[in-house]
Amino acid sequence: MNRTGTDRGLSAVIEYIDDSMAFEPSSYNESYLDRRISARMRRTDCSAYTGYLDVLSTDGDEREALLDALSINVTSFFRNPEVWERLRDVLRELTASKRTVQCWSAACADGREPYSIAMLARDDPEIREQSIEITATDIDAEILETARAGVYESTRTTDIESQLASLSSPAEHVDIDGDRSFSIRPSVKRMVSFEQHDLISGPRKRGYDLVLCRNLLIYIDRSYKEPIFEMLTSALNDRGFLTIGKSETLPHSFREHYEAYDRGAHIYRRD
Ligand SMILES: C[S@@+](CC[C@H](N)C(=O)[O-])C[C@H]1O[C@@H](n2cnc3c(N)ncnc32)[C@H](O)[C@@H]1O
């Protein structure tokens, strides 16, 4: 198929998703959507978008599978451990100087990121964990249920035990059943409150000392990045910290609002 035909085919699939499925493709960049759609096409032996569109419109299971593939909720405990070493310093500094430290894990997926903050705070004697309050939000109501349940399984490709290896005593923070199932302990869960929130169109939030918004911006269409950064920037107190993902960048128009705390770890401080 020539390039124009391919583009038209992809546009037709995206239009179908927009009209008929519980997902808004307009916020995501096209190459991301194409990668996810193409992966499903390979799984269903479709070599052309038009053929895949036929499958989609007749097969409810495939619509479900595509929805799963589009919901980008890959995450882990202490994702990018070197970043967490710097966040350890940030939490030490904040809790040494403030009575209450408000943290926001924005786009928290299944909760492993906010639970990482809570476990780190409990694990490190130089972080005053009693002062830490964590809000964790995501657009996806279903994944927030998983987050609230706080039970995670090791699989062939996910080794939870190694994700928790930076903690001095993981067993104080999670109950380990066999060597596969890990349940977050109530003492850790108590530190985190989960709520559904859309970073593009949801209400503004305020009063945070540390905001983590990692690994969402890479998927988002450029035109939605500014509203998200406005949301994150207005949520931060003066001298508050913002952490974005390792392959994400601050848009130019926001650079004047921040100084780099650790450029390599993508941690910035509100000016
Ligand atoms: C790849 S996960 C990132 C998880 C975690 N922050 C990390 O870095 O491991 C991206 C999450 O963004 C959520 N998301 C997508 N669009 C969103 C939006 N407009 N507002 C809030 N969350 C969104 C998805 O539901 C998904 O759980």
Nearest CA among 156, 187, 193 for reference residue 174: 187
In the Cβ-directed half-sphere of 47, how many Cα atoms lie within 13 Å? 1
Mean pLDDT of the residues in the chain: 93
- Residue 1 has a pLDDT of 45
pLDDT in tens, 101-149: 999 999 999 999 999 999 999 999 999 999 999 999 998 888 999 999 9
pLDDT-derived band at 5 (thresholds 50, 70, 90) equals low
Tokens, residue 254: 């926001």
Question: Which residues are within 8 A (CB) of 180 and not within 5 positions of it... i.e. 6 or more apart?
Answer: 153, 154, 160
pLDDT digit string, tens, across residues 17-61 = 999 887 788 888 898 899 989 999 999 999 999 999 999 999 988
Residue 218 Cβ inside 6 Å of ligand 1? The answer reads: no
Q: 267 and 242 in contact (C-beta within 8 Å)?
A: yes
From the list 66, 64, 65, the residue with the least C-alpha distance to 13 is: 66
74 C-beta closer than 6 A to ligand 1: yes
194 CA from centroid of ligand 1 (Å)? 13
Across residues 61-73, what is the average pLDDT? 82
Mean per-residue pLDDT, 158-171: 94
Cα 72 to middle of ligand 1, angstroms: 7
CATH code given to domain 81-270: 3.40.50.150
d(CA 174, CA 180): 12
Statement: residue 185 has pLDDT above 70: yes
* Nearest Cα to Cα of residue 77 among 161, 21, 183, 175: 161
Residue of minimum CA distance from atom 13 in ligand 1: 107
- Collapsed DSSP state (helix, strand, coil) of residue 81: helix
User: Which residue type sits at 102?
Assistant: Q
What span, in angstroms and rounded, lies between the C-alpha atoms of 137 and 203?
12
Q: Assess contact for 105 and 84: CB atoms under 8 A.
A: no
Alpha carbon distance, N-terminus to C-terminus of the chain: 52
Nearest by Cα to 35 from 62, 90, 72, 64: 72
Q: Are the C-beta atoms of 192 and 111 separated by less than 8 Å? A: yes
Residues 6+ apart with CB under 8 A from 116: 77, 78, 79, 84
The pLDDT score that the predictor gives to residue 141 is: 87
State the CB neighbour count (10 A cutoff) for residue 111: 27
- Pocket flag, ligand 1, residue 113 (CB < 6 Å): yes
Within the chain, which residue ranges are assigned CATH 3.40.50.150? Answer: 81-270
Determine contact, residues 40/74, Cβ cutoff 8 Å.
Answer: no
Model confidence pLDDT, tens digit, residues 204-217: 999 999 999 999 99
- Ligand 1: which of 216, 226, 242 to mutate, judged by most atoms within 8 Å of the beta carbon? 216
